[in-house]
Amino acid sequence: MNKEILLVDDDRDLRESLKIILEASGYIVRQAANGREALSSLKAKKPDLMILDVMMNTDTEGFDFAYELKDYPEFEGMPIIMLTSFLDKVREDGPDAFQHILGEAWPAKWLFEKPVDAKKLLAKLEAVLK
């Protein structure tokens, strides 16, 4: 059975390009553009894994959404890979703007910096979902 991934990012072009890569590797891909759409999709059907952008409508939307999911027992243990250009943003804006995030533990075990290295992402997906 093919594994299903929910891809959550406000960048349509990134979603479409990752969808092509993931589907070519045999994954079933659903998409959402923000946390609200993602929650609706998750409630309809829990995927095997979620790829979640940190910065969408706000600089911390994905991060906040991942924390919010902890309130839903049905999503406990669902692997989350977070995507971010966050490190670039911290370098540009300075760490003070992100102190509220930096003081928290990340709500996901894996973090990939954008632009995403597709080979590394696919290798991580394979390791996590086996």
Distance from C-alpha of 22 to C-alpha of 4, rounded to nearest angstrom? 10
- Number of domains the chain is built from: 1
pLDDT for 19 equals: 98
Domain of 54, in residue numbers: 4-129
Mean pLDDT to the nearest integer, 10-35 = 97
Q: Are 6 and 40 in contact (CB under 8 A)?
A: no
Report pTM.
0.87
pLDDT digits (tens, 9 = 90+) for 55-105: 899 888 998 899 899 899 999 999 999 898 876 665 677 656 655 565 566
Q: What is the CATH number of the domain that holds 36?
A: 3.40.50.2300
Which is more confidently placed, 104 or 109? 109
